Amino acid sequence: MNVIPLSAYDLSLAALLVGALALVAVRMRLKLAAQLIVAAIRTTVQLLLIGLILKFLFARVNPAYLAFISLVMLTVAGWEIMRRQKRRFSGWWGFCMGSSSMFISSFVITVLALIVIIDNHPWYEPRYAIPLLGMMLGNTMNGIALGLDRLIATTWDQRDVVEARLMIGESWRQAIGDIRRESIRSGLIPIINAMTVAGLVSLPGMMTGQILGGSPPEEAVKYQILIMFLIAAGTGFGTFSAVSMGARRLFDRRQRLRLDRLKPAK
């Protein structure tokens, strides 16, 4: 593999483009210039840092380090799921639902892929494990956040319907069944769309990266197919699990709809 190394000079040329965009934003009074600059700086700092961390980790094939960084990634993803919801469960519930679902789907599927499919030795070699886990977490996070947000928002809007269904003697599962299905569907649609246009409209980022890095395209493509399948499975099972837990939590033991378990909207 021979990658053309990028110098600081190369990157600052690209940065000039962002600077030019910021100038235009100021001229047009978009009130975005500050945000744009901060985001650009954050990207630079965060990515340089993770580059250093990955360099450190790749040099030490140690499951303890891997476990630690995985946990950090999972925690951040869990908070991000909460942050993206307009209304959310109060207390630890919102965080735990998202995180445990991501743990079940992303972690299990990543480990399965490393051991059974890629068959790497040792399976926890960070050069494979961390990028794979990162891609799984990033995508399942989207599905779970979408699904939970939809579940809570729809139930909030249709609370009278849900209660009317309870009143005629439906169980909580029946009363929320339609909303639950619709929420799981909304979490799965992005990955289905991504699989549909992959290669036709978009060249997925991972494959592009591998090709730029010098991998033969036919190998890069196989990895991309693998990733797509893993993401689809992870997103599907993760969303299914999170939405199901969320639906259960919306009702109490006596099968009453308990919207008081949600925090007020931001």
Residues in contact with other proteins by the rule CB under 8 A: 158, 160-161, 163-171, 178, 252, 254-258
- 5 vs 169, which CB is nearer to other proteins? 169
Q: Measured from the CB of residue 148, what is the shortest distance to other proteins in angstroms? A: 22
- 114 vs 257, which CB is nearer to other proteins? 257
Q: Measured from the CB of residue 161, what is the shortest distance to other proteins in angstroms? A: 5
- 219 vs 252, which CB is nearer to other proteins? 252
- 10 vs 252, which CB is nearer to other proteins? 252
Q: Measured from the CB of residue 92, what is the shortest distance to other proteins in angstroms? A: 21
Q: Measured from the CB of residue 255, what is the shortest distance to other proteins in angstroms? A: 4
DSSP for the chain? --PPPPPHHHHHHHHHHHHHHHHHHHHTT-S-HHHHHHHHHHHHHHHHHHHHHHHHHHT---HHHHHHHHHHHHHHHHHHHHHT-SS-BSTTHHHHHHHHHHIIIIIHHHHHIIIIII--SSTT-HHHHHHHHHHHHHHHHHHHHHHHHHHHHHHHHTHHHHHHHHHTT--HHHHHHHHHHHHHHHHHHHHHHHHHHBTTTB--HHHHHHHHTT--HHHHHHHHHHHHHHHHHHHHHHHHHHHHHHHHHTB-TT--B-GGGBPPP-
Please enumerate, as own/partner, the contacts of 170-176 that have beta carbons within 8 Å and a separation of 24 or more. Answer: 171/255, 172/247, 172/248, 172/250, 172/251, 172/255, 172/257, 175/257, 176/247, 176/250, 176/251
Q: Measured from the CB of residue 264, what is the shortest distance to other proteins in angstroms? A: 18
- 166 vs 230, which CB is nearer to other proteins? 166
Q: Measured from the CB of residue 110, what is the shortest distance to other proteins in angstroms? A: 40
Q: Measured from the CB of residue 89, what is the shortest distance to other proteins in angstroms? A: 17
- 29 vs 254, which CB is nearer to other proteins? 254
- 89 vs 103, which CB is nearer to other proteins? 89
